Amino acid sequence: MALVNGQIGSGVLVSVGGGQALRADAAAAWLAVVAEVRARFGITLRLTDSYRPYSVQVRIFNERYDPASSGGGPFGDVRWWGGVRYVRRRGASAAVPGTSNHGLGVAVDVTGLGGFDTSDGSAYARLAAVAPAHGWSNKAGRKINEPWHWEYTPADDGHPTPAQEDDMPLNAADATLINSVVINVLRSAEARAIIRDAVLSGKVSDDTGTLAQTVRDTRRIARRHELADHPDS
- pLDDT value, residue 221: 47
pLDDT digits 0-9 by tens, 75-125:
999 999 999 999 999 999 999 999 999 999 999 999 999 999 999 899 999
State the average pLDDT over residues 125-147: 97
Domain covering 1-52+100-157: architecture: 2-Layer Sandwich (3.30)
Q: Write down the number of H helices and E strands in the chain.
A: 8, 9
State the average pLDDT over residues 55-62: 98
Helices of type H across the chain: 24-41, 54-64, 123-130, 139-143, 162-166, 172-187, 189-200, 211-229
- pLDDT value, residue 143: 95
Comparing 16-20, 41-45, 198-202, which segment has the lowest mean pLDDT?
A: 198-202
Instruction: Please list the residues that pair with 20 across neighbouring strands.
Output: 17
Q: What is the C-alpha to C-alpha distance for residues 72 and 88, in angstroms, rounded to an integer?
A: 8
Q: What is the C-alpha to C-alpha distance for residues 116 and 80, in angstroms, rounded to an integer?
A: 29
Task: Look over the chain and give the mean of its residue pLDDT values, rounded to a whole number.
Answer: 81
- pLDDT value, residue 10: 87
First and final C-alpha spacing in the chain = 33
Comparing 139-153, 154-168, 176-190, which segment has the lowest mean pLDDT?
A: 176-190
Q: Report domain extents, the chain.
A: 1-52+100-157, 56-96, 164-229
pLDDT category of residue 45 using cuts at 50, 70 and 90 = very high
Note if the pTM is more than 0.95: no
